[in-house]
Amino acid sequence: MADLTPAVSPTMNTEDTATPFVAVPTSTYNFAELAEIYNHTRVDYIVPMPMNARRMEAYVRSYDVDLDASAVVLDRAGVMLGLGMLGVRNDRAWITRLGVVPERRGKNLGIFLMEHLLNGARERNARLVQLEVIKGNIPAHRLFRKLGFNETRELLVVRRPPGKPVIPQPVPDVQVTPLNRDEILKCLEERGEAASWLDENRSLVHLDGLKGLCVQFPSGESGWVAYESSLIQMAYVTVHTPPHVRDTMTLALLYHLHDLHPMLDTKVENLPALDLRWPIFQQMGYMETFRRVEMFLYY
């Protein structure tokens, strides 16, 4: 790993001098350095999810990460030990990209980093701090509970491999219309906000490859799907339907989405485990990859 240690100065010592750690604002680093630091903390992680400079920059932009409130943690010798980021929107905050290098875990670094981020959230007048922990990550879950976080729900991360739909077209004679960006933004406004930071409207509007489709049934009902499309993958798939045709419309939207993009792998994050549409996603070939536990802390 490259030497990413800045010169330690008194202005960096945001904690008591008796503490063996120093929290350095992530704004001290460029995006390539932050990506390398993050990857180093995740080398043995349950789900590594590696980053590069471009992805890190997009992540910071999409999720309103406050680089001054986020921190890289060093020991007093200047050795990098961990990373944590804080996103802030109005009176809500989100802790993300939290990680400690494997050889320094179990040394109270996690609680130091979390307390630093929570202090930053309070300083920014956050009423709610939320985070997600991969189900099965017992040490992290235990730490968050100790700090006062409570579970709200389980969220699914699901994937669908490339391929044409294997089921027949669910509703014949439908009208399928591509949506431009302005039309997608209007659709998102009617949807309202989601509880998960990853797919709420203020995150989706930052996506460079945002696309959408509208499906209208012969009977007049219509629904839409918005998604991000790259050369190899679709992500952030967001489906909106009239309640009385929820299942049929969801199936039709997913059918035409994958009929249009048969060569792309698809990933959907933070689909609520109790979402009544999950069986429809499964019918279209989606499979659960892992689960996250969403946790909230109110002030």
> For 221-260, how does the pLDDT look when each residue is reduced to its tens digit (9 = 90+)?
999 999 999 989 999 999 999 999 999 999 999 999 999 9
Highest mean pLDDT among 72-76, 123-127, 191-195: 123-127
- CA 50-234-206 angle, to 5 degrees, is 75
Residue 120 predicted with pLDDT over 80: yes
State residue 14's pLDDT score.
43
- Phi and psi dihedrals of 65, rounded to 5? -70, 130
Domain residue spans of the chain: 10-126, 158-291
Q: Show Cβ contacts of residue 196 under 8 Å, excluding neighbours closer than 6 positions.
A: 132, 155, 269, 270, 294
Mean pLDDT of the region 107-116: 90
Residue 2 predicted with pLDDT over 50: no
Mind listing the pLDDT tens digit for each residue in 5-51?
A: 443 333 344 445 567 889 999 999 999 999 999 998 887 766 667 88
Mind listing the pLDDT tens digit for each residue in 168-184?
A: 999 999 999 999 999 99
More confident residue, 105 or 30: 30
Are residues 82 and 101 in contact, defined by beta-carbon separation less than 8 angstroms?
Answer: yes
Asked if domains 10-126 and 158-291 share a fold, the reply is yes
Q: How far is CA 87 from CA 61, 288, 290, in A?
A: 10, 27, 23
3-class DSSP assignment, residue 167: coil
Q: For domain 158-291, which CATH number applies: 3.30.420.40, 3.30.70.260, 3.40.50.2300, 3.40.630.30? A: 3.40.630.30
Mean pLDDT of all residues in the chain? 90
Residue 3 predicted with pLDDT over 80: no
Mean pLDDT of the region 92-110: 85
Q: In terms of CATH architecture, what is 10-126?
A: 3-Layer(aba) Sandwich (3.40)
Residues composing the chain: 299
Q: How many angstroms separate the CA atoms of 12 and 22, rounded? A: 7
Mind listing the pLDDT tens digit for each residue in 268-288?
A: 999 999 999 999 999 999 999
